[in-house]
Amino acid sequence: MGRGRGGDVKVALIGTHGVGKTTLCFELAARLKRRDVDVELVREVARRCPLPINRETSLAAQGWILHTQMAWELEAAAGHPLVLCDRSVLDNYCYLLHAAGPQASWEPLLTAWLATYDLLVKVPIWTTPRWDGVRDTDIAFQRDIDALLDEQLDRRGLDALRLTPGDHPAWGDAVMARLEPLVCPQPTLFPEDNDR
């Protein structure tokens, strides 16, 4: 994995819906900003999709989501040395797999794009999904996507940092420990953040 371009780093938090990826992304971005790291967030794309998503998704919807994900990542990387993604093409592809089965036409692009991530962080199921106006709350659907994601990680031989479900409060520390060697952060701007 990794783009291999001078100092540029792209990290994606991956996992099924309703597990805290977005919250963790914002926590990590705040911690990195306090260390004066120039980081850009790529927010979850699916919420902006003009087509039905979740269990009602389609090939067209997932195609829109996958293409938009890649475009937003390119845009973020053009202006920032560290890109932090709330999802990756892989977990978005798992929703496509769930809806329509394997798609041979997507495989070459997906394989090439997965190589652009320097770190994948697998956020596990640790709670049930809560309704927020968009998120699907069906527990079986949440577990199906999680299982597909684990299957895809294994099938593709991807080495993800797999967070522990019972250790939710320490997830930020676990990810920061893996990020620090990649981003070589500046000394913290605020002395009280030295231990974070």
User: E strands within 28-109?
Assistant: 39-42, 82-86
Each as own residue / partner, the long-range contacts of residues 130-136 (CB below 8 Å, 24 or more positions apart, any chain) are: 130/18, 134/46, 134/47, 134/53, 134/54, 135/17, 135/18, 135/54, 136/17, 136/54, 136/55
Beta carbons of 66 and 93 less than 8 angstroms apart: yes
Domains and CATH numbers, the chain: 9-184 (3.40.50.300)
pLDDT string in tens for the chain (196-residue length): 554 344 599 999 999 998 999 999 999 999 999 988 999 999 999 889 888 888 888 999 999 999 999 999 999 999 999 999 999 999 999 999 999 999 999 999 999 999 999 999 999 998 877 766 666 678 999 999 999 999 999 999 999 999 999 898 999 999 999 998 888 655 556 666 555 5
pTM, whole model, 2 decimals? 0.88
